[in-house]
Amino acid sequence: MKIGRNDPCWCGCGRKYKQCHEAFDRKIESFAREGHIVPSHDIIKSPEQIAGIRESAKINMACLDAVAENIRPGMSTQEIDDIVVDVTRKMGGIAAPLNYDGFPKSVCTSVNDQVCHGIPSKNVILQEGDIVNVDCSTILDGYYSDSSRMFLIGEVSPEKKKLVQVAKECVDLGLKEVKPWGFMGDIGAVILEHAAANGYTVVREIGGHGCGLEFHEDPWIGYHTKRGEEMLLVPGMTFTIEPMINAGTQSIYTDQENGWEVYTLDGEPSAQWEYQVLVTETGVEILTY
């Protein structure tokens, strides 16, 4: 399907193609000709869509702020779910995880050697010394936001504290690589390097994703990547950076009883932070953290 230069632009701005995204598309095509993976139009967000994602993101971050204020030893992970349900509802949103592919709760709570997709339960009581990832995903007016944070429960060992800290540094380093006409592989490369420099591993099978119009959109974002490779970054793309950093082996397994909860194979702890970002004309905007 070829757009004429005088046809309306595909982005929906109402202007002619030649006055809007034509030069942009030519630039993308030149990267494609050089053999790069390039984004399709359907994952490039319009200003209106970006505004919608920003509103969704406000609820998403408010949920995690409320969790941060209330999380403490002796609390069940179900109570974290209750907080997320409550804040999301009061702000007019919908929790994306509930019933997503059959997920039974409204947020993921992953403790210690749980890598991700931990299912909140009244039987899981947070103990002094635990590290917990709370992964919150929100829908507002059809727009998706997604982020996660680590929480330290009471006094935590120096080893676990360092893991949580380095996992955060990994995301912050990845963030610095996000710029228009850069590459997704640049993000993974710095993350893998920083994790390895600290003696940690990065989970291979699960990664980040495009996010905004759907919960999980293209591209899938792994962290075992090289600079200058993987998908080209262009303004208007929105995606998550969410590497799972393991203290021990990178190997993981999924609990076959519930089909969701992912653990490290060696029982060593894992940590993850997740930001959702927008590629802008000049660099990056953090949408959620």
Which residues would be at the binding site for ligand MF3 (CB under 6 A)?
97, 100-101, 103, 108, 117, 135, 137, 146, 209, 242, 274
According to DSSP, residue 214 is labeled S
Q: Contact between 56 and Co ion (CB under 5 A)?
A: no
**Residue (180 or 208) nearer to Co ion, CB:** 208
* Distance in Å, CB of 140 to ligand MF3, minimum: 16
Minimum Å gap between C-beta 260 and ligand MF3 is: 6
How many angstroms separate the CA atoms of 3 and 172, rounded? 39
Minimum CB separation of residue 117 from ligand MF3 in Å reads 5
Cis peptide preceding 158, ω within 30 of 0: no
Rounded-to-integer distance, Cα 279 and Cα 285, Å = 7
Kindly state the smallest distance separating residue 2's Cβ from ligand MF3, in Å: 35
CA pair distance 8, 5, nearest whole angstrom: 8
Nearest 5°: CA angle at 209, between 207 and 181? 110
Nearer to ligand MF3, 34 or 101 (CB): 101
How far is it, in rounded angstroms, from Cα 168 to Cα 265?
22
Q: Please, which residue, 137 or 201, has the CB nearer to ligand MF3? A: 137
If you compute the radius of gyration of the chain from its CA atoms, what whole number of angstroms results? 20
CB-nearer residue toward ligand MF3: 230 or 242: 242
Q: Which does 117 bind (CB under 5 to 8 A by kind): ligand MF3, Co ion, none?
A: ligand MF3
